[in-house]
Structure 1
Amino acid sequence: MSWNFSILLEKPVTPEQSDAFDHCDAFADGEISYTLAMEEGATPLPPASPDMFRELTCMVEAPSYLDAVAQALQRIRLIDGFRPVGVTLSTLVDLEEAAQRSGLDEEEMVRLSKDSRFPEPKTRTGTVFYAWDSILAFFQEIGAPVPDVPREVLIADLALRLADALDGADIPPGSLKALGLSLD
């Protein structure tokens, strides 16, 4: 099964990192990609979020979201200067990804999408995408509790944020242990 997510980096991808990424066999399968900021004097792109230059877009085959994130992180750490600090999910999903996030099989999601209360798609040509927050609202309306973010993605995101916060922090080992953090 393929899992879609983005790894947020501390800083935007540099041309040097881009070159190392492009020549690293660990990324040859295309499961992880990036967007490089434009060089000065280049024709500007349409306005975009500055975060897009700090994200590595991932579509990784693995048994679970957490396994997919872990596999991506192992490869990402091969590039000097890539410092992962979080995990994000797209706000737009197709029915397959909506099924994954909600814990349903794809057939059930397709059946639900035919309900008159199901949200209208955001796109209608090519792959059909829906706003994830609208699908969440639909699930609430029909009384099906679905988390905003799958638990495994939340765990991965919190772990990366905690590792980032602890980096360079002078915290006594006793305090870390009292917080339930392993010192091994």
Structure 2
Amino acid sequence: MPEWSFTLLVNQPLTAEQADVFDHCDAFADGSVSYTLGPGNPEDHACVPRPGVLRELSCDIDAPTLLDAVAQAARDVRLVPGLRAVGVRYDDLVTLEEAAQRCGRELSRMREEFAGFPDPEPGAGGTEFYSWREIAEWLARAGVDVPEAPPGLLVADRALRLADALEGVDVPPGTLRSLGLPVG
């Protein structure tokens, strides 16, 4: 089963209490989802993470499809009281394996056939990371049509954003049906 790497956006930075629940939750015991916890008193620290990173969970989920992986992570996040997924995104930096997964092609053979494959990003250490945007541009020059974002990612992101927008809002079932949304 493929492993899907993505960033799940959550409604708030994790509190210390939520982090404790997260750390003791069986759904996250395999380490497939990780978070960054900010300091309790940011003003007491010289270097604190940028605020956005505190609302992101790094996910590496084994699932049949990307949509299944995102759905699994979003479901599991709800096990932490007060926390919910509100969006999802792919990051630009990828390994060759992740790039191959995104485009659905084996890249090693293509790299031999077509010149100009992008160089790895500098300073990555032992693992080589590449810019997905540069790889997608290279694929386009090689005649491969690669969508900017996979359909499963777009569906997952839009569904999570809609669910977040509907959170706590009273919308009549007839209105939801008129909008083409399932009512359950």
Q: Give the TM-score normalised by the residue count of structure 2.
A: 0.90
State the SS of the aligned residue for 2:165: helix
Aligned-pair CA distance for 1:171: 3.0
- Answer yes or no: is 1:111 the counterpart of 2:112: no
1:81 maps to amino acid? G
- Answer yes or no: is 1:51 the counterpart of 2:52: yes
- Answer yes or no: is 1:63 the counterpart of 2:64: yes
Aligned partners of 2:168 and 2:45: how far apart in 1?
37
- Answer yes or no: is 1:14 the counterpart of 2:34: no
Contact in 1 for aligned 2:74/2:84 (Cα 8 Å) = no
Aligned partners of 1:49 and 1:42: how far apart in 2?
13
Aligned-pair CA distance for 1:20: 1.1
Aligned partners of 1:16 and 1:97: how far apart in 2?
33
Aligned partners of 2:167 and 2:77: how far apart in 1?
18
Aligned equivalent of 1:138: 138
Contact in 2 for aligned 1:6/1:58 (Cα 8 Å) = yes
Q: What stretches of structure 1 move > 4 A for 4+ residues in a row? A: none
Aligned-pair CA distance for 1:74: 2.1
Aligned residue pair count: 179
Aligned partners of 2:22 and 2:145: how far apart in 1?
40
Contact in 2 for aligned 1:38/1:44 (Cα 8 Å) = no
Aligned equivalent of 2:4: 3
* Greater alpha carbon shift after TM alignment, 119-128 vs 138-147: 119-128
- Answer yes or no: is 1:89 the counterpart of 2:90: yes
Aligned partners of 2:11 and 2:32: how far apart in 1?
20
- Answer yes or no: is 1:42 the counterpart of 2:45: yes
1:168 maps to amino acid? G
2:132 maps to amino acid? W
Give me the CA root mean square deviation. Answer: 1.6
Aligned-pair CA distance for 1:43: 4.2
Q: 1:74 to 1:7 in 2, by over 3 A?
A: same
Aligned partners of 2:5 and 2:27: how far apart in 1?
18
Aligned partners of 2:40 and 2:166: how far apart in 1?
33
Aligned partners of 1:29 and 1:43: how far apart in 2?
32
**Paired-residue identity, %:** 49
Contact in 2 for aligned 1:112/1:118 (Cα 8 Å) = no
Q: Give the TM-score normalised by the residue count of structure 1.
A: 0.90
2:69 maps to amino acid? A
What do the CA deviations read for 1:31-73 (whole angstroms, capped 9, x no partner)? Answer: 010011123223414xx54211101111011111111112212
- Structure 2 unaligned runs (5+)? none
